[in-house]
Amino acid sequence: MKITKIQKIGKTPVYDLSVADAEHYILKNGVVTHNTGITYSSDNVWIIGRQQDKVKDGIQGYHFIINVEKSRFVKEKSKIPISVSWEGGILKWSGLLDVALEAGWVKNPKQGFYATYANPDDKEPIGKPVREANTQNAEFWKPILTNPKFNEWIKARYSVGKVQMIQAEEE
């Protein structure tokens, strides 16, 4: 089939067609179409991975990684870490260490220790380096979370731009 004419018709709803047991099929007007499947018609597709949070006595919860495969709200291919304990549910500070390390606002100057920085380019930390267990509190996170530049980095890293997807054209 050859395209003979393109005509602007304005905004028109489109639909995802699926036919059982057929990958593609021919419509009445001769147009060949293809099933897109659930992934293409979904607003969000998140794949969740899970690891056990082990301690000496057994398992105390799970560490989850949410892999954003498709989203209208979060940048695709983002990885969101979250830890959940069986005693307290979602841990308040879970995931922040991974994110802040990626951004450079937290660095590990020596193995097993973490320090906060006022800016990723700084050479000297705000305070003394602490062990990972001592990062799970407001004292460690407040200098970073109240820094507007860190908040801007988070927004740029994870959010989808807030621009109109289709601009109206003037004729």
Query: What is the tally of helices (H) and strands (E) in the chain?
Result: 4, 9
Q: Is residue 40 part of a domain?
A: no
Give 8-30 pLDDT, tens digit per residue: 878 877 666 666 676 666 777 77
- For residue 156 the two structure tokens come to 């740029």
Whole domain around residue 141: which residue ranges? 92-159
Residue 119 lies in a domain: yes
In a domain, residue 135? The reply is yes
Does residue 67 lie within any of the structural domains? no
Residues 88-143: tens digit of each pLDDT = 899 999 889 999 999 999 999 999 999 999 889 999 998 899 999 899 999 999 99
- Domain tally, the chain: 1
78 vs 49: CA distance, rounded Å: 13
In a domain, 113, yes or no: yes
Q: What is the dihedral of CA 92, 143, 78, 97, to 10 degrees?
A: -60
86 domain residue, yes or no: no
Residue 68: φ, ψ to 5°: -85, 105
Query: Which residues, listed in sequence order, are joined to residue 90 by a DSSP beta bridge?
Result: 84
Q: 30 to each of 3, 4, 9, 90, how far by Cα in Å?
A: 13, 15, 21, 54
Residue 12 in any domain: the answer is no
